[in-house]
Amino acid sequence: MKAHTRETQATMTPEKSLQYLKEGNQRFQNNLKANRNLLEQVNDTSDGQFPFATILSCIDSRVSAELVFDQGLGDIFSVRIAGNFINEDILGSMEFACKLAGTKLLVVLGHTSCGAVKGACDDAKMGNLTGMLAKIKPAVDAVKTPEDQSLRNSKNLEFVDAVSEKNVKLAIDKIRSLSPILKEMEDKNEIDIVGAMYDINSGAVTFFE
């Protein structure tokens, strides 16, 4: 499989880009990698890159977007931060990726049993981590069940995963509200903005559609 070129990127649509990721994740689950020569892709992309998707995901070592979607060099922009939340720098990176570099799809990818989300659920405090986890707390507060405070912590994985999903959805809301550039591109169907969850037990990605 060759690296994307300006010509192949131009043929991509938001819908086709999403399908590429779905097919890649299916290959990953089945342990079937696309046939690609990474060193050849190094050479092919030395003069430029033409990715088709931008993926915001967690720093979790089990959730590498390139691996779980079976993509090669030059295929995706990968933005990673613990808890996959939105800030100004990440929005700027996304605007560059979509408006200037031509990606057709923005994915916010959360995952099950997320350590950052667990920390936010437990109201953990430690150095700079305190401020970082505060950005995930709105998702904790937005999940209303269970009401029993003794069940609203990292030991309740069902609650943790519900907060992770809500965190993804709030991130997408922020992209649309804080980036007029990306919102306009979505309204014109130049890009699509979607959320997804990765299951660390099965390797499956479920898209919110």
Residues in the chain: 209
Report the alpha-carbon distance of residue 26 to residue 201 in Å, rounded.
Answer: 15
Tokens read off for 145: 């069940």
Domain ranges for the chain: 6-113+174-200
Secondary structure element (H or E) that encloses residue 176, with its range: helix 157-178
Question: In CATH, what class is 6-113+174-200?
Answer: alpha beta
Task: Tell me the pLDDT tens digit for each residue of 111-136.
Answer: 999 999 999 999 999 999 999 999 99
Q: Is the pLDDT of residue 3 over 90?
A: no
Q: Is the bond into 146 cis (omega within 30 degrees of 0)?
A: yes
Report the alpha-carbon distance of residue 54 to residue 78 in Å, rounded.
Answer: 6
pLDDT of residue 14: 97
DSSP character for 128?
T
Range with lowest mean pLDDT among 26-40, 130-144, 147-161 = 26-40
Q: CA quadruple 140, 144, 149, 152: dihedral positive or negative?
A: negative
Q: Is the pLDDT of residue 43 over 90?
A: no
